[in-house]
Amino acid sequence: MSQTKDARPRRAALYIRVSTEEQAKKGYSLPAQREDLEEFAKKNGYTVAGCYIDEGKSARKKYANRKEFMRMLEDVKAGRIDVILFIKLDRWFRSVADYYKIQEILDAHNVAWKTTQEHYDTETTNGRLYINIRLSVAQDESDRDSDRIKFVFDSKVARGEVITGSLPLGLTIRNKHVVPDPETADIAQALFHHYRTHGSAGAAARHIQDTYGLFLQDHTVRRMLRNPLYKGAYRDNPSYCQPLIPPQEFDAIQKQLESRSIRRSPVGRVYLFSGLVRCACCGRRMSGSYSASGGREYYLYRCRNACVQHSCPHRRQMSESRLEQWLLLQLAKELDRWELFWSVEPVQPRRSGPGQGTIRRRLERLKDLYVNELITLEQYRQDYSKYSLQLQQAGGAASPPPVPQLPEELLSGGFGPIYAALDRARRRDFWYGIIREIRLDGDNLPRVIFRNQPY
């Protein structure tokens, strides 16, 4: 056995790779591979420099995704390894291209490799040709296995059968099919409904934590909101399983995610209206900027087409605090106006009795007041019951009440103090819950489009 020039034993790295399927079918267990490699190293006078084990990794995957393989390469480059041992060539690679990429690194650092159960000669033309042939055969075998697995999976998906045990919150497996989980389905539905109502993933996560005691990261919430499995679709099967979220509602949320996405500040600053403010001149969303002076912070919005690309006439910046105060004033005016309107609106039927058309119009007006958060839930229930009774007496029926859109306490008279106590993140969630878009013209005069208001 040859040794290094200073007569030290050659330092051997033991590389072990096995996928779950191979371990089960071919007996390539990790202990069996390790025992074989250690025995080979001892018989040939090698010292074991390290053992590198990639468990559950397929040879089809890019070698960069094998954590232990990459750690071994770093040790090769650092000069800690003289030879790499593995049991068979297919433990190393099944791709000719990847094999030669790594071989260049090994050659550059004078590191050899050996297999314990096969014999290869890398120093002759015939030997290298034989390696190419074996690698090509292994790659072809792997490709065929992949095609067979894909065919089986496609058949299972078409029949609505599960092919993975990893499912999002609210779903579970029963009789090889995905079904709503009776223990968590209501949590997932509440998450979707809260986002549909308020338009904020962060607010939805906090709602789930406050209501159910379950902590969800914001990115987990966004991943759930985009998972088509909730509407019953998977891969190419739109009817893969029973929908937990109605497909129309799920699709509406996808549009909401796209149109109402909040641009995250790289330093964690919260802009109250980021993603909501749009330039009325060019139609582009206005970007936020920040500055600080004299101990005060300033948040501004500007049109990048005007300030950076000089292709829009809207060159004025809008102060966030000024826009916030304007919106609060307008909101207060609207609440006062509707409260006064409602106080003088007759709620008792005329002596002659209102007709069905009159009652229906009052119900529609009442619904609009409530949906647009201009009356409280208590007011709505009281007058809805009154009008419903009148309609029933007139021979008609009332439509079901709408789903609440905002917390009742925000519209029950204590709005100002409640808003003032909110931090910036919750203020942003509030505005995202009621506003679809704010359009600023060249003079920074706002036009607000509320969520329940058509364009």
8 A C-beta contact, residue 205 and residue 221: yes
The H or E element that residue 212 is part of is helix 201-212
Residue partners of 52: CB distance under 8 A and separation at least 6: 13, 14, 15, 16, 68, 69, 71, 72
8 A C-beta contact, residue 46 and residue 12: yes
8 A C-beta contact, residue 22 and residue 55: no
Closest CA to 396 of 356, 436, 358: 356
Residue with structure tokens 């403010």? 277
19 is annotated as an active-site residue: yes
Residue with structure tokens 């468990």? 55
Amino acid present at 404: P
- For the beta sheet containing 83-86, the strands, ordered from the edge strand earlier in sequence to the opposite edge, are 47-55, 11-18, 83-86, 112-115
8 A C-beta contact, residue 32 and residue 10: no
8 A C-beta contact, residue 254 and residue 222: no
The H or E element that residue 75 is part of is helix 67-77
Residue partners of 260: CB distance under 8 A and separation at least 6: 199, 275, 276, 432, 436
Catalytic residue among 19, 58, 95, 200: 19
Collapse the DSSP code of 171 into the 3-class scheme (helix H, G, I; strand E, B; otherwise coil) and give the result: strand
> What residues are annotated to the active site?
19
